[in-house]
Structure 1
Amino acid sequence: MRLVVARCQVDYAGRLTAHLPLATRVIMVKSDGSVLIHSDGGSYKPLNWMSPPCTLREGVADDGVTEWTVSATKTDDTLRIRIEEVLHDSAHDLGVDPGLQKDGVEKHLQELLAEHTTTLGDGLSLVRREYMTAIGPVDLLCRDAAGAAVAVEIKRQGGIDGVEQLTRYLELMNRDPKLRPVRGIFAAQDIKPQARTLATDRGIECVLVDYDALRGIDDPSLRLF
């Protein structure tokens, strides 16, 4: 990850336009290609950002000011960052992140899906929960009707980080001649549009799951109408 603290102006153009006037901000460039602009406030949410897949070009504008241009790969969206002064610039290798392990709803959701794997796809059968890889456990290892291996990553809220996590698992599992080919299913109660786009681009199937229906709260036999 690259962290830059700079006095900068930011302009976004695409489905909408947005302008951030000159001020001191933090620019984060992640290893997945995403670029995020943060201020010293507003909790975790960036002021503006560009999600992968995208490309970053560093150059100099006609007036001599350093300018970064971030372009989306699949759309015409662009993020232009004019950097007037750099206060800090550093790069850090964070290594492989195993992902956030949650208890509660997410753990229960995993248990329910392990018992009802066909809700993820016809013919799916469970091989093992918490199948261990060198970088952490895959939530579910299943087999489809044809006997092919399927790795399932389960999240309550499906974001890009979850897709990245499953991608890393799939890369390792497909090196195992006893498993490959292994395909992936990203299952969540809600899947963000950016995460769905990234998953589709990587050949990972997205499945929305209904937690209430799985645990029987939404049992049709209990309804009056």
Structure 2
Amino acid sequence: ALGTVNPVAEMARLAHEHDALIMVDGAQAAPHQPIVVQALGVDFYAFSGHKVYGPTGVGVLYGRADLLEAMAPWQGGGEMIKTVSFETPTTFADIPHKFEAGTPAIAEVIALGRALAWVNEIGLELIQAWETRLLEHATEGVASIDGLRILGTSPDKAAVLSFVVDGAHAQDIGLLIDQLGVAIRTGHHCAQPLLSHFGVDATCRASFAAYNTPEEIDIFVEGLERVVGMLR
């Protein structure tokens, strides 16, 4: 919602100090910065395929081997069984196969693998540096728009620009700028308590990725200036 990069390693350390396990939804991080789960110290880490330029309906789940070994399968089906008989308890396949019952999403996984290869070919460090440049360009561009306030200004934030404009509703801004060929998100972004903290019910959010260009940022800023002028 804001682009804030959370101190996951510190959060994991605190969780473990209190004998808790920690699972991280890394869907917003995986396509933008290098992830080393061992360095983070998390127990589980997940991200969705479509966030890393792959297909929908597929994703990745990492889990610590000792925890996965101790867990029972969540679903039964082909390929996750080692032995079955009436005389002895059923035994399951080794991880990760124990959790991959039935026919897998073959086409989706192949496409996800290609998408991840594309990301790695470019390099996450380069992607992160490029997106930071785009964010800085956009932040400078909107700074002169009267009544615009950026929410989320933490250091080293991801390439997300969340903002509100005095006297203009986020949805109206989104609808009008869409007519100019610019796609942004509006709403509470699945983070209503966070927006309540800031005293707003919706924000506009412009997100930048590896495929965006500075020229597109200029089009966004010009369009936003025009839209705000229409609404205020």
TM-score with structure 2 setting the length? 0.29
TM-score with structure 1 setting the length? 0.30
Task: Judging by fraction of residues, say which structure has more helix.
Answer: 2
Higher relative contact order (CA 8 A, sep 6+): 2
